[in-house]
Amino acid sequence: MKTTITDTDKGWKALQEYLKNQAPEGPHVKVGVLGASAVAAHASSKLTNVEIAGIHEFGRGKVPERSFIRSAFDSNKPKYENAMRKLADKVLTQQMTPRVAMGVLGQMIQSDVQKRFEDGIPPPLKDSTITRRFAMGYKSTKPLIVTSQLKNSITYETVDV
């Protein structure tokens, strides 16, 4: 008795080709202090936005660590994993390109990082710092909120490697 096996391609090869053509080495998204805003001078110091970001993200000298990128990502990781599953489904069903999917994810992460500034990032400011801020005319007692320049410099970019 002879057995015949038939392999019917129901679009798998076309889907693989579609994805390969969209981003041959995999799309990704960067979120942080990027581009022109990274090298812009920060209004309240002689440093650039990216230098200020690095000091606060990791801490330096008398400035304690006040992570706004890593902490936002870590606290929202389940949310991002769920979003990536939904976005991947849209990409696989060709309802969305990988680049658009990465943009949606980038916007979500950017928003969460910026929200960390508004929520306040521990440790709280020292009383002497708050007093100095009020004397300079600043109204916020939240760490990292003086001019909102750093918060507003948080952005994302999609990358097709």
Q: Which residues contact 10 (CB under 8 A, 6 or more apart)?
A: none
Residue 24 banded pLDDT, cuts 50, 70, 90: low
Residue 64 lies in a domain: yes
Residue 7 banded pLDDT, cuts 50, 70, 90: confident
Stretch 29-57: mean pLDDT, rounded?
92
Residue 16 lies in a domain: no
28 in Cβ contact with 107 (< 8 Å): no
Residue 6 lies in a domain: no
Per-residue pLDDT tens over the stretch 104-138: 999 999 999 999 999 989 998 888 888 888 888 88
Residue 52 lies in a domain: yes
Residue 14 lies in a domain: no
Residue 61 lies in a domain: yes
Per-residue pLDDT tens over the stretch 67-100: 999 999 999 999 999 999 999 999 989 899 888 9
For the chain, the domain total comes to 1
What domain range includes position 119? 25-160
Residue 7 lies in a domain: no
Provide φ and ψ at 32, rounded to 5°: 160, -155
Residue 86 lies in a domain: yes
